[in-house]
């Protein structure tokens, strides 16, 4: 970069994760800047020794810069500037330019923001100097160099304002009437295209990508495929990258196909030996384009072809000073493997992604590169979380949690929001699955922090998923503490999540949220005996059933129908509407027919219990013994499914069985049926031996008294007290 007479240098930069690794940028290094400045003959006659000494200092400074001795190089150039200034301001201009050039080259090579800022300040000062106002070539050089500085700074910091200024400067240079070699013109178009691509990525703007492609194709016209093969291939890589981002933004398959075409053309022009960095960039972009095409079309073969290209890029040899480039390629491969894993069964792709991320992490020092270390560690956590979700292995959950905690413990990680907030979201979702109070509290804290992210940090479906996770945590708290306030909060969060979703784009997630909202409203309406909340639950359940049809999603359809039928049963019970109870009964019976559950299924027991409750209340409302007989059958079935498996569930089935038998026995005046009721209540009491104060035991004891009163009325010889009738509530399950 600091050669005495460089005629064209290609600088590879990476925007620290903001723009994909290896974006080709070209910096036209005009050598011997002093040579393009016209010194007056008077200056040469009166100060040749001073200026010759300055030239010697400048040459030595360039050598020092090449050796990495930046400060020594800058000190020498400072001396040269001071000496030349004693002759004239115009003579010092060339050395001032070289000073800024050294800073720019160092900043580009090492992604050093401080050097780039200093270089930009130097070029701005030069452009404002009256000594260069009438020197078109010097003005042009300073504009191009300032644009390079601002572009790289903008990519490093994700600053669209700096990138916008850089693009404007490139455009100004292209329009200026300055004589320029065709390859220099191509390099300017290439730099403009790269800058516009970076702007498009930051702004998520398809229009920027279209302009970028136009600029890059103009650059391509300046380089023949055989004449300057590396530059030609590098520009094709940039065209491929612009089309890839365009396709990812719009979902246009044609853009992804154009990206593939550009990369294949570039690959045909170069060999691994000639330009390994360009080759790796082409393979990376080709791989990502193929994976995206495969994901969009559900084509596993294309996904696997993309992974082959990405693996080749990740295994390309890199110079010692470009090791981070390999790490970035490993991150691209890891991301693609995780994306493919979501469409392919098993854990093979996730295991490979984990190995890739762990290899990348091994190449990083937490102390030297804390942000990058935290990013890779957070992605290890995400991969482990996906593996844990798929396998249910407890050790994977623990390892994932450890990785997330390690990444989030790095303070500098806060400066990388594009990775920080997804990590918070995934960690919050992981903790939400842990059935402990401490884990739920931690999950709530982390998810709330994730939700504070700017809207651009997440897609709307991810933000909706976070809101849903937080809502489910509030539901858990409500069930644990009996808190109506937590249920209200959960319902509100589900509604916010639904506002973010477009049903046509993701009907499954939209339907799932409607089902969750229906369940929260059902629990709240049952708790507070509020028909308006139950009616809202009915509306949400009907909406979810529009998505989850019996034919396409039988399990989801059954869950939604259970919510609907439970809400209808409660409304019918609270408002005395037999038609709603009949609709609820039909719904529960439909679920049982469709599911075909065995008698040992908890879902089977829950639905039988709900069906029995609806039938019992319908039988009482309409004085219909046939409905009560069916209720008895349902409660017996629920009892058979819970016997020996859960004391509470068994006791509830026996209490409700006893209540239905009691009502049926009273309605018919049948002493034998009442004796059965007494036995059922006794079974409930026996489920909790020595626990007379237990709420279910108290309910069973009260039922026994009611049966005793009924038997007394049938047989005055009996002397037992009663305390009236009770009706039954369905259990939403």
Give, in order, the Cα–Cα distances in Å from 701 to each of 650, 654, 710, 720: 16, 12, 14, 12
Model pLDDT for residues 157-192, shown as the tens digit of each residue:
889 999 999 999 999 999 998 888 888 999 999 999
pLDDT tens digits for range 403-434: 999 999 999 887 777 788 888 888 888 887 87
As a whole number, mean pLDDT of residues 605-614 equals: 92
Predicted confidence (pLDDT) at residue 435 exceeds the cutoff of 80: no
**Comparing C-alpha atoms, which of 111, 20, 24, 23 is closest to residue 335?**
20
Residue scoring higher pLDDT (91 or 726): 91
Q: Choose among 25, 24, 46, 33: nearest CA to 6.
A: 33
Residue 46 has what pLDDT? 52
Residue at token pair 């390099």: 187
Give the percent of the chain with pLDDT over 90. Answer: 43
d(CA 469, CA 16): 31
Do 106 and 87 form a contact (C-beta atoms < 8 A)?
Answer: no
Cα 432 from Cα 421, distance rounded (Å): 16
Q: Is the pLDDT of residue 10 over 50?
A: no
> Is the per-residue pLDDT at 565 higher than 90?
yes
Name the burial class of residue 536, with classes exposed (0-12), middle (13-18) and buried (19+) by CB atoms within 10 angstroms of its CB: buried
Residue 2's pLDDT band (cuts 50, 70, 90): very low
Q: What is the pLDDT of residues 247-298, one digit of tens each?
A: 988 888 999 999 999 999 999 888 766 678 888 999 999 999 999 999 888 8
Residue 485 is predicted with a pLDDT of: 83
**pLDDT 10s digits, 494-546:** 999 999 988 888 898 899 999 999 999 999 999 999 999 999 999 999 999 99
Lowest mean pLDDT, pick from 90-94, 607-611, 625-629, 630-634: 90-94
Amino acid 306: pLDDT: 95
Contact between 292 and 251 (Cβ < 8 Å): no
17-39 mean pLDDT: 35
More confident residue, 301 or 275: 301
At 322, is the pLDDT very low, low, confident or very high (cuts 50, 70, 90)? low
Given a contact cutoff of 8 angstroms between Cβ atoms, the answer to whether 728 and 617 are in contact is yes
Rounded to whole angstroms, what are the CA distances from 514 to 147, 200, 269, 497? 51, 35, 54, 10
User: What tokens appear for 618 in the block?
Assistant: 């319908």
- Paired tokens of 565: 């039928």
Q: Is the pLDDT of residue 378 over 90?
A: yes
Tell me the average pLDDT across 135-144: 92
Give me Rg for the CA atoms of the chain: 37
Would the CA dihedral through 152, 153, 154, 155 be positive or negative? positive
Higher pLDDT, 448 or 517: 517
The mean per-residue pLDDT over the stretch 548-560 comes to 89
| E strand segments, 281-422 | none
Query: What secondary structure does DSSP assign to 553-600, as a single string?
Result: -HHHHHHHHHHHHHHHHHHHHHHT-HHHHHHHHHHHHHHHHHH---TT
8 A C-beta contact, residue 152 and residue 166? no
Which among 75, 56, 51 has a CA at the least distance from the CA of 65? Answer: 75
**CB atoms inside a 10 Å sphere around CB 654:** 28
Q: Are 122 and 77 in contact (CB under 8 A)?
A: no
% of the chain surpassing 70 pLDDT = 87
Cβ neighbours of residue 549 closer than 8 Å, sequence gap 6 or more: 557
Q: Which distant-in-sequence residues (6+ apart) come within 8 Å of 45 by Cβ?
A: none
Among the listed residues 2, 147, 165, the one whose alpha carbon sits nearest the alpha carbon of residue 68 = 2
611-626 per-residue burial string, b: 16 or more CB within 10 A, e: under 16:
bbbbbbbbbbbeeebe
pLDDT at 381: 95
| Nearest alpha carbon to residue 138 among 6, 61, 8, 30 | 30
- Got the DSSP string for 224-255? -TTTSHHHHHHHHHHHHHHHHHHHHHH--HHH
Cβ proximity of 525 and 496 under 8 Å:
no
Confidence of residue 457 (pLDDT cuts 50, 70, 90): low
What pLDDT is recorded for position 719?
53
Identify whether the C-beta of residue 244 lies closer than 8 Å to the C-beta of residue 255. yes
In the structure, what pLDDT confidence band is assigned to residue 334 with cuts at 50, 70 and 90? Answer: very high
Instruction: Give per-residue pLDDT as tens, 693-713.
Output: 678 888 888 888 988 888 888
**Residues whose CB falls within 8 Å of the CB of residue 500, separated by 6 or more in sequence, listed in order:** 460, 461, 463, 464, 467
Average pLDDT over residues 635-646: 82
If you average pLDDT over residues 441-455, what whole number do you get? 82
- What is the rounded distance in angstroms from the CA atom of residue 517 to the CA atom of residue 540? 7
Mean pLDDT of the chain: 84
| pLDDT score of 484 more than 60 | yes
Residue 356 pLDDT grade (very low, low, confident, very high; cuts 50, 70, 90): very high
CA 39/CA 361 separation, integer angstroms: 54
According to DSSP, the residues that pair with 25 across neighbouring strands are 11
What are the sequence ranges of the domains in the chain? 434-714
pLDDT at 316: 81
CA 133 to chain centre: 50
Above 50 in pLDDT, residue 338? yes
pLDDT of residue 650: 83
CATH superfamily of 434-714: Tetratricopeptide repeat domain (1.25.40.10)
pLDDT for residue 519: 94
Whether the CA torsion 202, 205, 207, 210 is positive or negative: it is positive
Q: Is the dihedral of CA 573, 574, 578, 584 positive or negative?
A: negative
The per-residue pLDDT for 274 is 62
């Amino acid at each position: 970069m600091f050669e005495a007479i460089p005629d064209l240098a290609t600088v590879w930069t990476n925007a620290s994760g903001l723009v994909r690794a290896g974006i080709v940028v070209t910096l036209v290094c005009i050598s011997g800047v002093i040579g393009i400045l016209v010194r007056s003959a008077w200056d040469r006659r009166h100060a040749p020794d001073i200026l010759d000494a300055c030239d010697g200092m400048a040459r030595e400074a360039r050598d020092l810069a090449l050796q990495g001795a930046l400060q020594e190089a800058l000190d020498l150039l400072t001396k040269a500037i001071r000496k030349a200034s004693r002759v004239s301001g115009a003579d010092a201009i060339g050395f001032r330019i070289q000073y800024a050039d050294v800073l720019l080259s160092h900043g580009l090579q090492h992604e050093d923001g401080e050097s780039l800022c200093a270089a930009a300040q130097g070029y701005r000062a030069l452009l404002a100097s009256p000594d260069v106002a009438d020197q078109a070539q010097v003005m042009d050089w300073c504009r191009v160099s300032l644009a390079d500085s601002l572009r790289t700074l903008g990519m490093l910091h994700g600053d669209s304002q700096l990138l916008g200024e850089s693009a404007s400067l490139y455009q100004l240079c292209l329009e200026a009437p300055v004589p320029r070699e065709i390859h220099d013109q191509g390099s300017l178009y290439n730099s403009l295209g790269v800058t516009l691509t970076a702007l498009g990525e930051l702004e998520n703007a398809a229009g920027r990508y279209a302009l970028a492609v136009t600029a890059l194709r103009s650059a391509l016209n300046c380089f023949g495929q055989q004449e300057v093969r590396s530059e030609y291939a590098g520009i094709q890589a940039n065209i491929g990258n612009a089309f890839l981002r365009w396709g990812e933004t719009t979902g246009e398959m044609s853009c992804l196909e154009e990206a593939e075409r550009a990369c294949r053309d570039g690959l045909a022009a170069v060999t691994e030996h000639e330009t390994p960095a360009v080759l790796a960039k082409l393979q990376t972009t080709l791989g990502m384009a193929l994976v995206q095409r495969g994901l969009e079309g559900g084509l596993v073969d294309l996904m696997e072809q993309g992974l082959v290209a990405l693996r080749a890029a990740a295994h390309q040899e890199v110079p010692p000073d470009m090791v981070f480039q390999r790490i970035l390629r490993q991150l691209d491969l890891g991301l693609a493997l995780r994306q493919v894993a979501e469409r392919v069964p098993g854990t093979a792709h996730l295991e490979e992604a984990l190995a890739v991320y762990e290899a990348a992490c091994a190449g990083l020092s937490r102390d030297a590169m804390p942000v990058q270390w935290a990013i890779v560690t957070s992605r290890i956590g995400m991969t482990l979380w996906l593996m844990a979700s798929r396998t249910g292995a407890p050790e994977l959950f623990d390892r994932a949690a450890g990785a997330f905690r390690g990444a989030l413990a790095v303070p500098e990680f806060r400066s990388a929001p594009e990775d920080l907030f997804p990590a918070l979201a995934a960690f919050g979702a992981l903790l939400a699955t842990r059935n402990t109070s401490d884990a739920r509290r931690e999950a709530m804290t982390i998810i709330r922090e994730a939700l504070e992210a700017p809207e651009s940090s997440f897609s709307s479906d991810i933000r909706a998923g976070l809101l849903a996770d937080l809502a489910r945590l509030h539901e858990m708290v409500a069930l644990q503490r009996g808190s109506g306030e937590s249920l209200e909060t959960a319902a509100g969060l589900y509604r916010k999540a639904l506002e973010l979703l477009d049903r046509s784009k993701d009907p499954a997630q939209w339907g799932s949220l409607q089902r969750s909202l229906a369940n929260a409203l059902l629990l709240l309406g049952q708790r507070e005996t509020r028909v308006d909340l139950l009616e809202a639950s009915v509306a949400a359940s009907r909406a979810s059933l529009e998505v989850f049809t019996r034919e396409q999603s039988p399990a989801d359809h059954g869950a939604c129908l259970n919510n609907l039928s439970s809400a209808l049963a409660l409304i019918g019970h609270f408002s005395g509407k037999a038609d709603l109870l009949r609709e609820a009964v039909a719904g529960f019976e439909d679920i049982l027919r469709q599911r075909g559950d065995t008698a040992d299924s908890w879902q089977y027991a829950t639905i039988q219990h709900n069906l029995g409750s609806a039938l019992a209340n319908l039988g009482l409302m309409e004085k219909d013994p046939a409905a009560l007989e069916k209720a008895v059958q349902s409660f017996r079935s629920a009892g058979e499914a819970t016997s020996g498996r859960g004391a509470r569930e068994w006791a509830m089935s026996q209490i409700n069985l006893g209540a239905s038998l009691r009502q049926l026995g009273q309605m018919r005046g049948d002493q034998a049926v009442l004796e059965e009721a007494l036995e059922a209540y006794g079974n409930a009491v026996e489920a909790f031996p020595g626990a007379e104060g237990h709420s279910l035991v108290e309910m069973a004891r009260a039922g026994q008294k009611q049966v005793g009163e009924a038997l007394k009325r049938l047989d005055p010889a009996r002397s037992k007290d009663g305390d009236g009738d009770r009706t039954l509530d369905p259990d939403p399950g």
